[in-house]
Structure 1
Amino acid sequence: MFCTSMADVAGEFGVPYYIFFTSAASDLGFISHIQQLHDESGFDVAEFEGNELAVPSWARPIPRWAFPPNIVNKEWLQLLYRIARVFRRARGILVNTVRELESCAVDSLSFTKVHPVGPILNLKAGAAAAGGGVPEEEAIEWLDRQPESSVVFLCFGSMGAFREEQVLEIANGLEASGLRFLWVLRRPGPEGTRAGPTDYQDVREVLPKGFVDRTAGVGRVMGWAPQTIILAHKAVGGFVSHCGWNSTLESLWFGVPMATWPMYAEQKLNAFLLVHELEIATEIKIDYRNGEIVTAEEVERGVRRLMERDCSREERLKKFSDCIKKALMDGGSSSASIAEFIEGCKSSGGM
């Protein structure tokens, strides 16, 4: 989705090109809409001061706080507009979503042929943790000893990491909750660099004094984790997530309830979709701003709410979990969409 300069190569050879969009169809709709408004009427979303913006791919207006945080960066915004224009010229767009999950968004995208082909997931991914956290095998063995649906899993993606002040608040909130937890805790890269998170040699250096010992009976803290393997475990009953689209689809696939803590990119849009449109998630801090401190009380309240039984939410989650699995089966919506894409390529000489 960001390699749109390859469209020029397709043009040189006189062949059609397709886009693989790895985020939600609703996100694609948001990008396309603000680009269209900009090109047709000079609308500048970076200077938008309203409380919410109506977007055709969404069932309800999007609040200003849910806009991607980089949208105020004019240079980044111009890049986004250029990418969206390439999207519009594509022969079609394959989106990693399921029609039944985002029917409003899929049906609204009329500027090109949209093929919802998801969920495209690597469900067997797993790698041993590096560094001083709990190794993968030990974490799974620990989960094996926990009651079914009793553990809160906290994981914030490949770029998700917090400074020490926020780590202390999360730790205190988890301890106060008394809930079982498995927490993926990683060291942020140096300030002012693009370096990604790394694992701590010893997580005790950043946690409250005595935390590991006091919570030894109910919790584990580890470095890089095999997320799909953990989400698939019967002991996991809730997932505190940054709401990256892959993580969202994985959580839906395994039917694990989510609590949202979006951090960057389009994650606030995904969180808004989960909490307010699909109504299958709760929130820790849905309008989180980078550098903001979420208090221990907010963490405690959020994880407790996540682990409480909510029959209507559970029914909706199960419905969507079932539908995204059926979508890939013979006769399912995504399976049919993939077949339609292939036939379209054949008929146009694109394969």
Structure 2
Amino acid sequence: MDVLSMAICKYTWVHQPHLKAKSVSDPLHLPGVKLPFTLTSAELPETVNKQNQDDLLSKLIEEVGEANANSWGVVVNSFEELEKSHILCFESFYSEAKAWCLGPLFLYEEMEDLEKRNFSMLMQWLVEQITPDSVIYVSFGTQADVSDTQLDEVAFGLKESGFPFVWLVRSKTWTLPGGMEEKIKGKAVGGFLSHCGWNSVLESVSVGMPLLAWPMIAEQSLNTKLIVDGLVAGLSLKREQNCGSGVVVSREAICEGVRELMEGEKGRNAKERAQALGRVARRAVQEGGSSDVTLSKMIAQLRGF
């Protein structure tokens, strides 16, 4: 989780009974929390909106919050330039705890030989795509439960967009709709259709890749607000108002979102912004960068104990 989401969740968890808003669609005012976007109570994580003292998850979140408050600090997989206006706000909720932004952590690692990771066929296919940045990557993480009906809509939406795609599907029950494999063979899917878990957001931005956001659970709605409205490095998918069918995002919305991200003006602007953030992220972990300096300071303080 990023510093801003932690600050919002901490504030609303403590002060929710006193938050003033006429309806769930009205903007929330969180004194002391500087938001780079407008936030409503409807956009808060479900665990914050539905506090229940008898609920085990609510108790766990409360205990984690207390542990953080009594700790020496919290290591955050983010970088200072992304969180500059949020760090002091987050730290103000605690007496001594500090937010140590050391990321993006994955940028510290040396890239392994992709051949050894069994990606040779995929990489060859990507190399064969004639148009640069023409492929969209699709993944919804490991925790969200996406229905088979919804996965059908994703498949048809990607096909109708006309762009090449790489789609990671974890479902053990879903298969491609009949005849779909031949229809998409050789088709193209440079963006990321994502659930907007923080690791996915950070990894995408760090390599200059714009996101097509589809938040599903936890703080992903806050991550979406940050990436789309705050950083302007992504776009949001249109969601259905009536979800009785189990379909939250229609194939038409997926097709429209992919096309706008890949070839529309908003998509081009998001890509330029993501690429700029990627350059900052890479500098952060290099020698003398913000995350490198913060790591050195943290190690020095730990040695002083």
Whichever residue aligns with residue 40 of structure 2, its letter is P
* CA pair 287-298 structure 1, distance change in 2 beyond 3 A: closer
SS at match of 1:327: helix
Whichever residue aligns with residue 86 of structure 2, its letter is A
In structure 1, the gaps of 5 or more residues are 1-22, 129-134, 188-197, 220-235
* 1:74-131 CA distance string (max 9 Å, x none): 2223332222122112112221111111212113223332211111126747999xxx
Stretch deviating more after TM superposition (49-58 or 147-156): 49-58
* 1:220-253 CA distance string (max 9 Å, x none): xxxxxxxxxxxxxxxx711101111111111112
CA contact (8 A) 1:117 1:337 kept: yes
Q: CA deviation at 1:178?
A: 1.2
Paired position in structure 1 for 2:40: 63
Which runs of structure 2 are paired with 1:144-223 in the superposition (5 Å)?
A: 144-147=127-130, 148-187=132-171, 198=172, 206-218=175-187
Q: CA deviation at 1:137?
A: 3.3
Paired position in structure 2 for 1:103: 84
Paired position in structure 2 for 1:275: 228
Whichever residue aligns with residue 248 of structure 1, its letter is V
Q: Runs in 1 of length 4+ with deviation above 6 angstroms?
A: 125-128, 286-290
Stretch deviating more after TM superposition (299-308 or 115-124): 115-124
Whichever residue aligns with residue 121 of structure 2, its letter is E
* CA pair 294-125 structure 1, distance change in 2 beyond 3 A: farther
Paired position in structure 1 for 2:281: 324
In structure 2, the gaps of 5 or more residues are none
SS at match of 2:191: strand
* CA pair 173-153 structure 1, distance change in 2 beyond 3 A: same
Paired position in structure 1 for 2:215: 262
Q: CA deviation at 1:312?
A: 3.5
CA contact (8 A) 1:262 1:287 kept: no
Q: CA deviation at 1:346?
A: 2.6
CA contact (8 A) 1:68 1:269 kept: yes
Q: CA deviation at 1:338?
A: 1.0
Whichever residue aligns with residue 133 of structure 2, its letter is S
Whichever residue aligns with residue 28 of structure 2, its letter is L
Which runs of structure 2 are paired with 1:245-324 in the superposition (5 Å)?
A: 245-285=198-238, 291-310=246-265, 311-324=268-281
Take 1:77 and 1:268, find their aligned partners in 2: how far apart are those partners?
19
SS at match of 1:237: coil
TM normalised by structure 2 equals 0.83
Take 2:204 and 2:66, find their aligned partners in 1: how far apart are those partners?
32
- Asked if 1:54 corresponds to 2:29, the answer is yes
2:99 alignment partner, one of 99, 111, 114: 114
Aligned identity (percent) is 28
Whichever residue aligns with residue 300 of structure 2, its letter is E
Take 2:110 and 2:51, find their aligned partners in 1: how far apart are those partners?
35
* CA pair 250-260 structure 1, distance change in 2 beyond 3 A: same
SS at match of 1:293: coil
Q: CA deviation at 1:139?
A: 2.2
Q: CA deviation at 1:67?
A: 1.3
